[in-house]
């Protein structure tokens, strides 16, 4: 976790905004896989990554952030917010022809019931 945090700082310091966006999502992934999961911190990083990626026009990363948020909300207390993010991710993956990721979202959508 320390290495990823340091990498985010270096990316920002050197105006590597695209790298910073990817690292922010990575930090979200790290925090959601802690024991116990640090849900609020993970959500914060996913939202930061999504906002920066959207600003930079990094559509695949924006879609990945929506998928991550959908998964997070599906498994935690914000289950009602999951469909919005999963639907957005699904639409984006479909538009970009990212079939593997589209299948991943479909699995998550089926799990919602």
Kindly report, residue by residue over 44-59, the tens digit of the pLDDT: 999 999 999 999 999 9
Q: How many distinct structural domains can be found in the chain?
A: 1
6 or 89: which carries more pLDDT confidence? 89
- At 28, the pLDDT band (50, 70, 90 cuts) reads very high
pLDDT (average), residues 74-90? 89
Query: How far is 61 from 80, CA to CA, in rounded Å?
Result: 23
pLDDT (average), residues 36-49? 94
- How many CB atoms neighbour CB 82 within 10 A? 21
Q: The CATH number of the domain where 11 resides is what?
A: 1.25.40.10
Global pTM value: 0.90
Decide if pLDDT at 31 tops 90: yes
Identify the domain containing residue 46 by its residue range: 2-112
């Amino acid at each position: 976790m320390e290495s990823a945090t340091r990498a985010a700082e270096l990316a920002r310091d050197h105006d590597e905004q695209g790298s910073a966006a990817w690292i922010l999502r990575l930090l979200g992934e790290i925090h959601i896989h802690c024991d116990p999961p640090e849900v609020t911190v993970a959500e914060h990083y996913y939202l930061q990554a999504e906002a920066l990626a959207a600003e930079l026009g990094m559509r695949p990363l924006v879609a990945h952030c929506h998928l991550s948020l959908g998964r997070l909300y599906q498994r935690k207390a914000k289950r009602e917010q999951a469909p919005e993010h999963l639907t957005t991710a699904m639409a984006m993956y479909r538009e970009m022809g990212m079939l593997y990721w589209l299948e991943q979202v479909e699995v998550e959508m089926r799990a919602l019931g």
